[in-house]
Amino acid sequence: MRNQQAQARHLELSFLIGGFVTDHLIRVHHLFEGDLVAALVLATVANRNMQRYYEDVARKSGEGLDKLVDTGDHLAHMRHCNAYSVASATGIPRETVRRKVRWLEQKGWLTVGTRGELLIPAGIGKQFAQFDSTTIDRFLDTAREGLRVFDRKESATSS
């Protein structure tokens, strides 16, 4: 039933989602000084680093990820990755990933271990807090509007 409702409102829902995604990409473009590939590299590393901890611990915790990260509980569970795995996951050429990693490391947004392991630094979330807060607000607004569209009944005048 939901799939049929979504199909009936496909263009409108796509418009709303597209507006959110476009706005988000523009904001990311500005934050990363025009380098969307660097943003993709950082996001891939961050998600890989936190994935296991989130799935195994934080998702099941009553405290939630934010509080657990504040205590540093996640640090022992970080899952490393490297330029090869980022290149493989994203389709970005390995040398491009290495170049972006150097840039991200210079900005203090990424750390590189002695064997090339990539990690987001502790406390990185604080550097992106305002950006993330705006993204969450806009995402929730878009989700609420999408649900209103999704649940709206067909008008009697439509065929």
Is residue 30 within 8 A of residue 89, CB to CB? The reply is no
CATH of 35-124, picked from 1.10.10.10, 3.40.30.10, 1.10.8.50, 3.30.1490.20, is 1.10.10.10
CB atoms within 10 A of CB 10: 10
**Mean pLDDT computed over every residue of the chain:** 88
Q: State residue 1's pLDDT score.
A: 45
User: pLDDT class for 156, splitting at 50, 70, 90?
Assistant: very low
- Quickly list DSSP for 82-130: -HHHHHHHH---HHHHHHHHHHHHHTTS-EE-TTS-EEPPTTHHHHTHH
Q: How confident is residue 155, by pLDDT bands cut at 50, 70 and 90?
A: low
CA distance 31 to 24: 10
Higher pLDDT, 62 or 93: 93
Q: Which residues lie across from 111 on neighbouring strands?
A: 119
The CA distance from 93 to 83, in Å, is 9
pLDDT band at 104 (very low <50, low <70, confident <90, very high): very high
Give the other-Cβ count within 10 Å of 21's Cβ.
11
The number of angstroms, rounded, from the C-alpha of 17 to the middle of its chain's C-alpha atoms is 15
Percent over 90 (pLDDT), the chain: 63
Residue 116 has pLDDT above 90, yes or no: yes
Whether residue 54 has pLDDT greater than 90: no
Which range has highest mean pLDDT (33-42, 76-85, 141-150)? 33-42
pLDDT score, position 159 = 47
Is residue 20 within 8 Å of 138, Cβ to Cβ? yes
Tokens describing residue 17: 């989602």
Which residue, among 24, 60, 58, has the nearest Cα to 43 in the 3D structure?
24
pTM to 2 decimal places: 0.84
Banded model confidence at residue 2, pLDDT cuts 50, 70, 90: low
Would you list the domain boundaries of the chain? 35-124
Q: Which residues pair with 112 in a beta bridge?
A: 118
